[in-house]
Amino acid sequence: MIYQGKQKIWSDYQKEIPDDKWYYVRSCIRQNFFPASEKMFLEICRNVLGKDIYENEHHTTCGGIAYHCDTIPQETAMTIVARQFALMTEAGYENYVASCITSFGNYTEILETWNEFPELEARIRELLWKACRKEFKKPKHLAHSSDLIFKFRNEIAEKAKFRLVNKETGEPLKVVEHIGCHYSKMFPSKGVGGAEYPYVLTGMVESWGGNIIDYPERRHCCGYGFRQYHVKANRGYSISNTHKKFESMAPYKPDMIITNCPGCPYFLDRWQYVIAEMEGKTYGQNGFGIPVFTYEEVAGLVLGYDPWDLGLQLHQTAVEPLLDKIGIEYAPEDKYKGVDSKDIMRPELPKVMKCF
């Protein structure tokens, strides 16, 4: 598709994103696997940009993963979400931002279903009152946390110490963007740029100096599939889908991958390690994999934060080749240190894929 065509699609899928006063809810998966990304989101919004992002200790899972593993009924998922909205209402906020794509999709689906079937919303209000004696207002605006970083991408670019540019050649880095399926595949109008050419990550990469790669399986699922990963017997589905994506993107020689979903960076990172161990194949240069990042990690890198403060040591696919390309300095000896440089040993190295 010609670039002007994409611009037209993007202009059709604009989304109003207020620039301040958000009620923030965390992601189950990201807290486990990318905790520093959530920390960086709050750091950037609150301390770099001076925004009001409020978090309440009483919020819980939205139940989205359990719902998509078919273990809880739809009314349960809806009432858990209604309780989250009640916490927002009690705190005096009207804008709701979720760290998780599954949650964002869950909230979107629920609000849209309630709009279409008001009797269901009324029933959920009754169930919430019965269970918790709580009432709620629906959010005026619902966003995923990547929507906010997208909105602030140019302010971040203005404060950036690095750009997504190869320091040796001066060329923009070649970046694969991967959008979580539940961001906009269900309700294209709720995501920045729609479902076909989502602009949320592309906009960040363009602002920060990189070039986006278009490749055939760009919109293919990472392979999470909920029950297809959480049950050990089903993981062939998960790795097969990731494998399909990497085979499709490999000829374009990407320097890095940026994602906005909790599970996708985990699967794109970890299944590269497994494919290397199983088949001896690596997709990066010189025996390395292709480094995979969350958008907060990339924002943190361009802003000049220490890679180990961003949690990049929890990746299985080495990030150092990308840091070296950009020219970001780091202390290799600090990679696996604890707080105050406490020695907490270091992981074993994979047998095939190069790692540090």
Q: Which of residues 261-290 bind other proteins (CB under 8 A)?
A: 270-271, 273-274
Structure tokens of 108? Answer: 């979107």
Q: Which residues, numbered 12-51, are part of the site for other proteins (CB under 8 A)?
A: 26, 28-29, 31-32, 35-36, 38-39
CA distances 229 to 185, 225, 238, 314, Å, are: 20, 6, 6, 20
Cβ atoms 24, 53 nearer than 8 A: yes
**257: part of which helix (H) or strand (E)?**
strand 256-259
Q: Which of 22, 199, 226, 283 binds other proteins (CB under 8 A)?
A: 226
Distance of CA 90 to the CA centre of its chain: 28
Q: Which of 91, 122, 131, 331 binds other proteins (CB under 8 A)?
A: 131
Q: How many CB atoms lie within 10 A of CB 307?
A: 22
Site residues for other proteins, window 136-175 (CB under 8 A)?
none
Could you say which of 49, 53, 179, 181 contacts other proteins (CB under 8 A)?
A: 181
Q: In whole angstroms, give the CA distance from residue 90 to residue 92.
A: 5
Count of residues binding other proteins (CB under 8 A)?
95
Give CA separation, 29 vs 34, 35, 109, 144, 354, in Å: 8, 9, 20, 15, 26
Q: Which of 47, 233, 286, 333 binds other proteins (CB under 8 A)?
A: 233
Backbone angles phi, psi at 146, to 5 degrees: -70, -25
Give every CB contact of residue 253 below 8 A, 6+ residues apart in sequence: 174, 285
Report the nearest approach of other proteins to the CB of residue 208 (Å): 23
CB of residue 200 to other proteins, shortest distance in Å? 16
Nearer to other proteins, 96 or 208 (CB): 96
Instruction: Give the range of 9-17, 143-151, 153-161, 343-351 binding other proteins by CB under 8 A.
Output: 343-351
Q: Which two tokens stand for residue 30?
A: 């990201």
Tell me the closest approach of the beta carbon of residue 256 to other proteins, in angstroms: 18
What CA–CA distance (Å, rounded) separates 10 from 17? 15
Q: Which of 2, 3, 50, 342 binds other proteins (CB under 8 A)?
A: 342
Taking CB under 8 A as the rule, does residue 188 contact other proteins?
A: yes
Where helices occur in 59-117 by DSSP H, the ranges are: 64-68, 74-91, 101-116
Q: In degrees rounded to 5, what are phi and psi of residue 175?
A: -120, 130
Which one of residues 241, 259, 282, 294 is an interface residue with other proteins (CB under 8 A)? 241
Q: How far is the CB of 301 from other proteins (least distance, A)?
A: 16
CB of 315 to other proteins, least distance (A): 7
β-strands 141-144, 53-55 pairing: unpaired
- Tell me if 51 sits within 8 A of 37, measured CB to CB: no
Closest contact distance (angstroms) between CB of 228 and other proteins is 5
97 binds other proteins (CB under 8 A): no
Binding residues for other proteins restricted to 47-76, rule: CB under 8 A: 55-61, 63-66, 68-76
349 binds other proteins (CB under 8 A): yes
* Residue from 8, 140, 159, 346 binding other proteins (CB under 8 A): 346
Q: Residue 221 interacts with other proteins (CB under 8 A)?
A: yes
Q: Which of residues 298-337 bind other proteins (CB under 8 A)?
A: 308-309, 311, 313-316, 336-337
Query: Least CB distance from residue 227 to other proteins, whole Å?
Result: 6
The residue written with tokens 């008001």 in the block is 118
